[in-house]
Amino acid sequence: MIAQFYQAHSDILLFAGAAAVKVLVLLNVIMGFTALLTLAERKVSALMQDRIGPNRASVFGFAFDGLFHPVADGIKMLVKEDFVPAKAEKLLFTLAPFFALVPVLALFAFIPFGDYVMVFGYQLDLQIAQMPLSLFFVLAFSGLAIYGVFLGGWASKNNFALLGAMRGVAQMVSYEVVLGLTLVGLMMIFGTAGLQDMVRAQGRLLFGFLPGWGVFYQPVAFVLFLTAAIAENKRTPFDLVEGESEIIGYFMEYSSMRFGAFMFAEFIEIILVSMLATTLFFGGWQVPWLYDTGFIFPWGSTLPLNHYLVAALQTGAFAAKTVFFSWFLLVVRWTLPRFRFDQLMALCWKVLLPLALLNILVTGAVLTALK
Amino acid sequence: MISVKKVDNKPLGPLERIYLLEVARGLAVTMRHFFANFFNRKGMPTIQFPEQPSPLPGNANLRTRHRLKIRADGSPKCVACFMCQTACPAYCIHIEAAEYPENPAEKYPAVFDIDLSRCVVCGMCVEACPEDAIAMDTRELPGGVEARSELLLVKSALLRNLPGEPSLKGAANRLANEYLKAGGEK
C-alpha cells in the first residue's frame, strides 16, 4: 500500500523530501555561520583596533583562538534569568522575538545558492522556493521584521523601549522604500523579478569579457542598496534604534535568550544582506566564465569540468562572496560613526530616494535608447 | 584665568559633503590595520598578561604583593609594633602579637593577615615599618582568583626572603641577632 501511495505521488513526495533536506542543510549552515559571525564581529573589530580579541574561552585548555566564545555566549544567554516586566503585555512580549527572527529566517528560502545538481537523475534546484516573483517576497518579508521591533518596544511598557521602537520603525519604513526602488533598475535590465532568473541572467558576458554582474549595470543602485540595507539592518552608522547613552533600545526590557533572539536576528540579517547583495549585484553563484560544461575563457581556451565540480564551484563561489560581504559589513560597522536621527531621515528622503528615482529614470532612458 | 581655545573648523568641501569618498578613506585606514594585524598577529602590542609577564615600569615594582622579611635565624623581622596596621588607610592588616618565651624584650606576630581584597596598594605599611620588615617588592601582581578566601594573605604566605637575603647589615637586624645570641638576657 505504501508502495502504491509512493507510485501515485512520487513527484510531490520527492519534491517535499528534497525541500526538507534543503531547508535543514541551509538552516544549519546559516545558524552555524551566524554563531561564527558573532565571534567574527569581535575578532574583526579587535584586529582593526590593534587588539587580539576574545581568546580565553577554552575546553580542556584548548582555546583555538576564541572559537568557543559563541558556545559560551549561547550557554550564558540560555541560563540567564528570563525576566518579564510586571506591566508588560505578556503575549506580545513573548511573540516579539519570534517576529524578529522568523521573517529573516524565512527569507533564505528565496536565495539561490547554486544552479542545480543532478542526484540519481533528479534535478535538484539549489533554491528552496523557486518562485518567479521571489524578489517581491524578499521585500515583503523584510517588511515583516518591523513588527518584531515595534511589538518588542510596545509590549515592554517602557517609555525608553517605546522610543527606541518608534525610531526603529521610522527608520525601517523609510529605508524600505529606498531598498525597493533601488532594485527596480535591476528588474528592468534583467526583465524578471525571480532571484534565480536574475542570477542566470548575470551569467551573460558584457562586452564579450566582463561578467555581466548587476554591479556593472547598476553601480549607483549598488551603493544605494548597500546603504539602505545597512540601515534596514539597524547597524552602525544607522544604529539609532539602540543608543546606550540615551534610549538603550526597543529590547531594553529583554533578557536571556529573548534578547539573544533579537541579537541573533540582527546577525542573521547581516548574512541575508550579504547574500542579497551577492545575488543581485555580484552574480550570485556565477563564477566568471564558468558555464554548465566548464570554463570558456574570453581568450578562446576552454577547460571542461565535471557537472558536480561545476556545481560545487558555483556554490563555493556564492559562499565566498557571502563571507566577503559579511566581512565588509563588519568593517563598515566598525569604521563609520553614527548619524544623528534627523541626518538619518534627511539622508533617506532627500538624498537616497531622489537618487534611486533618478537611477530608474536613467536606466529606463538608456534601455529605451538601446532598443 | 579662563583660557579659551578657538577651534578653527574648516567648512566641508564639496567632495567631503558627498561623504562617499571620505567613507572610502576611512575604510582604507581600518582595512589597512585589519590586514596588517591579520597577517602579522605577533606584531600587535597586546601582552597575554598572566601567562606572559611584562616588566613593571620603575617604582611600580615597589607596589606589588606584600612580603614579611625573615632574619638569618628564621624568625620574622616583624616585631608586631602595629605601626603598619595603624598606618593602613584600608584597614586590611590584622596583627596579633605574641612574646618570645625566652626573650620577653621582643614581640613577634602570632597572626599577620593582609586582606588583599581591601588593600589599596598604597605602600603606607612599608613607609611606616620601623624595622624594615614589610616590603612590597615581590613583583607579583595579586588578583584574579576564584574565591575571596584566596585573597587573604596569612603569615606563612607572607614570610619570604628575596635572593641575597637575609642581609646581615643594618642596625635593627644586628641588635636582634645579638639579643638572641646572648640567650635573651634582660
Q: Are residues A309 and A232 in the same domain?
A: yes
The type of residue at B70 is I
- B156 within some domain: yes
Give the chain B residue nearest A334 (alpha carbons).
B30
Shortest CA gap B121–chain A (Å): 28
Choose among B18, B61, B60, B41: nearest CA to B162.
B61
Q: Are residues A200 and A63 in the same domain?
A: no
Taking 80 as the threshold, does the pLDDT of residue A248 lie above it? no
Q: Are residues A189 and A207 in the same domain?
A: yes
Q: Determine the average pLDDT of the residues in B171-176.
A: 59
- B178 within some domain: no
Where b means 16+ CB within 10 Å and e means fewer, A77-111 reads beeeeeebbeebbeebbebbbebbbbbbbbbbbbb
Mutate to test the interface with A, among B12, B17, B20, B30 (most CBs of A within 10 A): B30
What's A59's DSSP letter? B
The single residue listed with the C-alpha cell 584548548 is A62
Q: What per-residue confidence (pLDDT) applies to A305?
A: 86
Distance in angstroms (rounded) separating the CA atoms of residues A146 and A100: 8
The percentage of residues in chain B with a pLDDT greater than 90, rounded to a whole number, is 41
Distance in angstroms (rounded) separating the CA atoms of residues A229 and B53: 46
- B101 within some domain: yes
Which of A79, A108, A139 terminates a domain? The answer is A79
Rg of chain B on CA atoms, in Å: 27
Q: Grid coordinates representing A297?
A: 575563457
Residue A48 in contact with partner chain B when CB distance is under 8 A: yes
Could you tell me the CATH number of the domain that includes residue B151? 3.30.70.3270
The β-bridge partners of B153 are B114
More confident residue, B150 or B167: B150
Mutate to test the interface with A, among B12, B37, B48 (most CBs of A within 10 A): B37
B110-143 confidence digits (pLDDT tens): 999 999 999 999 999 999 999 889 999 888 888 7
User: Could you tell me the pLDDT band of residue A360, with boundaries at 50, 70 and 90?
Assistant: very high
- B90 within some domain: yes
Shortest CA gap A362–chain B (Å): 20
Handedness of CA A163, A164, A165, A166 (dihedral sign): positive
| Helix A2-48 × helix A256-281 angle, to 10° | 90
User: Could you tell me the pLDDT band of residue A38, with boundaries at 50, 70 and 90?
Assistant: very high
Give the other-Cβ count within 10 Å of A207's Cβ. Answer: 8
Q: Are residues A263 and A248 in the same domain?
A: yes
Distance in angstroms (rounded) separating the CA atoms of residues A153 and A25: 33
User: Which residues fall within 8 angstroms of residue A159, CB to CB, at 6 or more apart?
Assistant: none
Of the partner residues A48, A51, A223, the one whose CB lies closest to the CB of residue B30: A48
Q: What per-residue confidence (pLDDT) applies to B31?
A: 94
A322-333 confidence digits (pLDDT tens): 999 999 999 999
Q: Grid coordinates representing A237?
A: 552608522
A160-181 confidence digits (pLDDT tens): 899 889 988 999 999 999 999 9
Q: What per-residue confidence (pLDDT) applies to B184?
A: 54
User: Could you tell me the pLDDT band of residue A321, with boundaries at 50, 70 and 90?
Assistant: very high
Q: Say if the Cβ atoms of B37 and A50 lie within 8 Å.
A: yes
Distance in angstroms (rounded) separating the CA atoms of residues A108 and A275: 9
B74-123 confidence digits (pLDDT tens): 888 899 999 999 999 999 999 999 988 877 778 899 999 999 999 999 99
The single residue listed with the C-alpha cell 534611486 is A356
The type of residue at A25 is V
Shortest CA gap A70–chain B (Å): 20
- B149 within some domain: yes
Q: Grid coordinates representing B33?
A: 590595520
Q: Are residues A72 and A205 in the same domain?
A: no
User: Could you tell me the pLDDT band of residue B186, with boundaries at 50, 70 and 90?
Assistant: very low
Choose among A70, A49, A66: nearest CA to A58.
A66
The β-bridge partners of B97 are B109
Q: What per-residue confidence (pLDDT) applies to B175?
A: 63
Give all strands (DSSP E) within A143-207, no chain letters: 205-206
- B10 within some domain: no
Q: Are residues A74 and A90 in the same domain?
A: no
User: Could you tell me the pLDDT band of residue A132, with boundaries at 50, 70 and 90?
Assistant: confident
pTM for this predicted structure: 0.82
Which of A34, A62, A79 terminates a domain? The answer is A79
- Provide the domain count of chain B: 1
Q: Structural domain of residue B150, as residue ranges?
A: 63-162
Q: What per-residue confidence (pLDDT) applies to B67?
A: 93
Q: Say if the Cβ atoms of A335 and B46 lie within 8 Å.
A: no
Taking 60 as the threshold, does the pLDDT of residue A247 lie above it? yes
Q: Structural domain of residue A72, as residue ranges?
A: 1-79
ipTM: 0.86
Chain A residues lying within 8 Å of B20, measured CB to CB:
223
Of the partner residues B30, B44, B46, the one whose CB lies closest to the CB of residue A331: B30
Distance in angstroms (rounded) separating the CA atoms of residues A252 and A124: 44
Give the chain A residue nearest B20 (alpha carbons).
A223
Q: What per-residue confidence (pLDDT) applies to A12?
A: 86
Chain B residues lying within 8 Å of A50, measured CB to CB:
33, 37, 44-46
A46-74 confidence digits (pLDDT tens): 999 999 888 888 888 888 888 899 999 89
Shortest CA gap B53–chain A (Å): 17
Q: What per-residue confidence (pLDDT) applies to B183?
A: 66
Residue A221 in contact with partner chain B when CB distance is under 8 A: no
Residue A346 in contact with partner chain B when CB distance is under 8 A: no
Of the partner residues A50, A331, A332, the one whose CB lies closest to the CB of residue B44: A50
Q: What per-residue confidence (pLDDT) applies to B179?
A: 67
Chain A residues lying within 8 Å of B30, measured CB to CB:
48, 331, 334-335
Chain B residues lying within 8 Å of A332, measured CB to CB:
27
Where b means 16+ CB within 10 Å and e means fewer, B130-148 reads ebebbbbeeeebbeeeeee
Helix (H, G, I), strand (E, B) or coil at A191: coil
Torsion angle of C-alpha atoms A56, A62, A67, A70, degrees rounded to 10: -70
Chain B residues lying within 8 Å of A331, measured CB to CB:
27, 30-31, 34
Helix (H, G, I), strand (E, B) or coil at A327: helix
Distance in angstroms (rounded) separating the CA atoms of residues B56 and B63: 10
Chain A residues lying within 8 Å of B41, measured CB to CB:
52
Choose among A115, A113, A126, A19: nearest CA to A307.
A115
Give the other-Cβ count within 10 Å of B23's Cβ. Answer: 16
Give the other-Cβ count within 10 Å of A129's Cβ. Answer: 18
User: What are the two backbone dihedrals, phi and then psi, of residue A34, each rounded to the nearest 5 degrees?
Assistant: -65, -45
Q: Are residues A107 and A230 in the same domain?
A: yes
Q: Say if the Cβ atoms of A336 and B23 lie within 8 Å.
A: yes
A264-292 confidence digits (pLDDT tens): 999 999 999 999 999 999 988 988 888 88
- Provide the domain count of chain A: 2
**Rounded (5°) CA angle A254-A257-A260:** 80
Distance in angstroms (rounded) separating the CA atoms of residues A213 and A194: 15
Taking 90 as the threshold, does the pLDDT of residue A117 lie above it? no
Q: Are residues A70 and A107 in the same domain?
A: no
The single residue listed with the C-alpha cell 531594553 is A252
Of the partner residues B23, B29, B33, the one whose CB lies closest to the CB of residue A50: B33
User: Which residues fall within 8 angstroms of residue B48, CB to CB, at 6 or more apart?
Assistant: A52
Number of residues that make up chain A: 371
Chain B residues lying within 8 Å of A51, measured CB to CB:
44, 46
Give the other-Cβ count within 10 Å of A64's Cβ. Answer: 11
3-state helix, strand, coil in chain A (%, to 5): 65, 5, 30
Q: Are residues A37 and A182 in the same domain?
A: no
The answer to whether the CB of A117 falls within 8 A of the CB of A124 is: yes
Q: What per-residue confidence (pLDDT) applies to B170?
A: 54
Q: What per-residue confidence (pLDDT) applies to A17?
A: 87
Q: Are residues A109 and A249 in the same domain?
A: yes
Helix (H, G, I), strand (E, B) or coil at B141: coil
Q: Are residues A154 and A270 in the same domain?
A: yes
A191-218 confidence digits (pLDDT tens): 888 899 899 888 888 777 888 888 899 9
Q: Are residues A247 and A277 in the same domain?
A: yes
Which of A79, A95, A126 terminates a domain? The answer is A79
Of the partner residues B30, B45, B48, the one whose CB lies closest to the CB of residue A334: B30
Q: Say if the Cβ atoms of A52 and B29 lie within 8 Å.
A: no
Q: What per-residue confidence (pLDDT) applies to B2?
A: 84
More confident residue, A240 or B89: B89
User: Could you tell me the pLDDT band of residue B50, with boundaries at 50, 70 and 90?
Assistant: confident
In angstroms, the Cα distances linking A113 to A218, A327, B69 are 22, 19, 71
Q: What per-residue confidence (pLDDT) applies to B180?
A: 66
Number of residues that make up chain B: 186
Q: What DSSP letter does each residue of A302-353 carry, written as one string?
A: EEE--HHHHHHHHHHHHHHHHHHHHHHHHHHHTTSPPPPHHHHHHIIIIIIH
Distance in angstroms (rounded) separating the CA atoms of residues A285 and B27: 27
Residue A44 in contact with partner chain B when CB distance is under 8 A: yes
